[in-house]
Structure 1
Amino acid sequence: MSGGEGVRNPADLTPVLDELDDIDAAIAEVLDAIDTLEWILLVTLGNMADTIDAILVDTTAIEIAVNAIRAQTDGLPVLTETGGTITTDGNVQDLYINNAPGGVFRPICVKIDFTNHTAGETVVITTNYRIRAAGGLTLQDTATYAGVPTSPLIK
């Protein structure tokens, strides 16, 4: 028994208990960190859920807008040129009338050829529109061409 250690009581667990206390403290720190991470995840996921809900709402609004645009533009690929001859006889005549639903056909430009127009003729062109289906036509604009126009092609 050299070194002055003396006799130890084998039942003295103080060093072991000290180690266990250190382990318990480390476990408590880990549990606190896990609680903090859970809180961060809940907040983040909660915010994500709000963001996802907002995106879904916005997507629905976009879908409604796209459907409205498609209703107007679906007829564009089938636009065709039309033509015909109208003789000036003193009666009101339809040069073009669109009774189709909106989006089926919308002319971009109407051209009228006055090549055969004589000095004694007067042509009145009116643009009319219809506000509701089967409703009456309402005058929008009028253009009068008397005599021979300076340009035989009118747009």
Structure 2
Amino acid sequence: MAGDGVRNPADLTPVLDNLDDIDAAIEVNRLLILIVQAGIAEVLDAIDTLEWILLVALGDMSVTLDAILVDTTAIRAQTDGLPVLTETGGTITTDGNVQDLYINNAPGGVFRPICVKIDFTNHTAGETVVITTNYRITAVGGLTLQDTVTFAGVPASPLININLEPNRFG
């Protein structure tokens, strides 16, 4: 018992664990003996009984399969709308007109755009840029203004980050 440390002599957990292992081995051996003693016909009858028990336990498989189809269809609707990293780029000049930086007009489901980054490196002191964030909140509705940010002159940080929210309708 050297190296075992202090243990409670009344704790029978290790002994009970060993007895459980022995009981399990005895049950396996008992089953093997029964199979050998029984003839092939008895084994086949036991298999038929087991199949019947499984059918009763599982019930009508068509109902189960229909439920699985409903679940997988719901999962598919969610995963089809999972965010896809898409990099878009380009140059927009300040010409006084409203221009789209990013728009998703026909999402497949709920989508999660992360952000839009705008590089103001070439922005001059005389330019003013107004950025609006708009969302469509109904399937056939128009875009609704959520936020407006104005950048006049040269920004202190030339790279601007605009966080976007999950949306369903674009």
Cα 1:32/1:14, change in 2 over 3 Å: farther
Shift of 1:41: 17
Question: Which 4+ runs in 1 deviate beyond 3 A?
Answer: 3-60, 75-78, 102-106
CA contact (8 A) 1:72 1:102 kept: no
SS of the residue aligned with 1:76?
coil
CA contact (8 A) 2:83 2:111 kept: no
CA contact (8 A) 1:98 1:105 kept: no
CA contact (8 A) 2:83 2:112 kept: no
Aligned to 1:73: 79
Aligned to 1:12: 11
CA contact (8 A) 1:76 1:105 kept: yes
**The structure with more radius of gyration:** 1
Aligned length: 143
What is the aligned-residue RMSD (CA, Å)?
Answer: 20.0
TM (norm. structure 2) is: 0.46
CA contact (8 A) 1:121 1:146 kept: yes
Using the TM superposition, name which of 109-118 and 31-40 deviates more.
31-40
Shift of 1:99: 0.3
Runs (5+) with no aligned partner, structure 1: 61-67
Larger relative contact order (Cα-Cα within 8 Å, sequence gap ≥ 6): 2
Residue 49 (structure 1) aligned with residue 62 (structure 2): yes
Cα 1:8/1:36, change in 2 over 3 Å: farther
For residues 41-98 of structure 1, the C-alpha deviation after alignment (integer angstroms, 9 at most, x for no partner) is 99999999999999999999xxxxxxx5643443446422111111000011111111
Q: Report the identity percentage.
A: 91
TM (norm. structure 1) is: 0.50
